Amino acid sequence: MDLPSRPLVTLALMAYNQEQMIEGAVGGALAQTYSPLEILISDDCSTDRAFECAAAAVDDYEGPHQLRLNRNPHNLGLIGHVNALFEMARGEIVVLAAGDDVSLPERVVRIVEAFR
């Protein structure tokens, strides 16, 4: 794969009924040291407050990363949600994370290094 020196990466954080854990996952995503980074937070029509909690966690975000929130109007299921995220992603590399994954700040950096 021939990548530019700093390819745009999409960190796609997918959630479903993870109200209790989503804040930590969003915090880990926002703390990533890699740039340029698009963070795509997507909720698969949760029946709890996962989407509202994710939205509150990014409400005052003014950091360097591009940020997009998505809420599916109906539940797509795991594979449908993953496929939808890949269609929404703008990055040349897409990193998937679940709503209960608390990522260390170097997660995306290390994944990009693996493509080199």
Instruction: Report CA torsion sign: 115, 2, 65, 43.
Output: negative
Name the token pair of 75.
């539940």
**Mean pLDDT of all residues in 75-104:** 98
What domains, with CATH codes, occur in the chain? 9-114 (3.90.550.10)
pTM value is 0.93
pLDDT at residue 1, rounded to an integer:
58
What are residue 100's phi and psi, to 5 degrees? -115, 10
- Is 103 in contact with 13 (CB distance < 8 Å)? no
- C-alpha 66/C-alpha 86 separation (Å) is 16
pLDDT at residue 2, rounded to an integer:
65
Residue 9: pLDDT over 90: yes
